[in-house]
Amino acid sequence: MSTTPNSSNPTSPRTRVVREPQRAVYDRHAINQILDEGFVCHVGFAVSEPGKDGQPYVIPTSYGRDGDILYIHGSAASRMLRNLNQGVPVCITVTLLDGLVLARSVFNHSMNYRSVVILGTATLVADPAEKLAALRALSEHIIPGRWDDSRQPNERELKQTSVLRVPIDEFSAKVRVGPAIDDEEDYAFPTWAGVIPLEMKVGSAIRDERCEQDLPEYLKNYSRNK
């Protein structure tokens, strides 16, 4: 994806990037590309329970995107799902780290990254067909082709799993690319400066000891770079 910050307008005043606004990205296609490359999102919400009213929590979880909808799932008994299934405001973030930026001064060290913030209301997916489609989207988001190559969820497993829907309507991204930016007087300081790139690499598959099948093609060619 292009990591050049986009100058289009935010979807709402709440998603306007205030600090380092030149790094803001409001383009939906760019946001989708970041979401599609990530594995884990962090879901922030406030709990409304006796003795915990207003207590904020941030929970990491996997997710899947289907068009302009983000799906998250988990055990029906989890705190997050118990509190979100009534239609609770959430803040969902996804961050990809692309490099460590080493400047001449400690103050100007940074990171190259791509991050997305989504604000919205999470609601429980009650329709059985949409729930199954959402679970498929979650599976295919992680490993395309795996859903059709695996046993499908049975009725008991579906009852134990809750799925939440969050429309991707209110969002923004923030992107940092490029070299270190030092104060002019620090450029003469005698230390190494530059960028250490970071990337996620796929290692060699490790066969389960009770597996007799050959590694399928979709796993042989697996890559996270969407």
- Kindly report the CATH number that applies to the domain delimited by 13-220: 2.30.110.10
Residue whose C-alpha is closest to residue 94's, from 162, 7, 174, 199 = 174
Strands 69-75 and 55-66 come out as antiparallel
Token digits for 46?
A: 């406030």
Task: Give the residue ranges of the chain where pLDDT is below 50.
Answer: 1-3
Residue 41 φ/ψ, nearest 5 degrees: -115, 160
Tens of pLDDT, residue by residue over 43-93, are 998 877 666 677 898 999 999 999 999 999 987 767 777 767 678 899 999
Token digits for 214?
A: 């050959």
b or e along 48-66 (b: 16 or more beta carbons within 10 Å of the residue's beta carbon)?
Answer: eeeeeeeeeeebebbbbbb
User: What is the predicted pLDDT for the residue at 164?
Assistant: 92
pTM, to two decimals = 0.90
**What ranges make up the beta strands (E) of the chain?**
24-25, 40-47, 55-66, 69-75, 88-102, 110-124, 161-167, 170-176, 194-197
Residues contacting residue 225 through CB under 8 Å, at least 6 positions apart: 37
Tell me the residue type at 40. V
Q: Are 166 and 150 in contact (CB under 8 A)?
A: no
Question: What is the residue extent of each domain of the chain?
Answer: 13-220
User: What is the predicted pLDDT for the residue at 74?
Assistant: 82
Tell me the residue type at 162. S
Inter-CA distances, 114 with 81, 163, 173, 199, Å: 27, 26, 7, 12
User: What is the predicted pLDDT for the residue at 88?
Assistant: 85
Residue whose C-alpha is closest to residue 83's, from 26, 173, 162 = 162
User: What is the predicted pLDDT for the residue at 190?
Assistant: 97
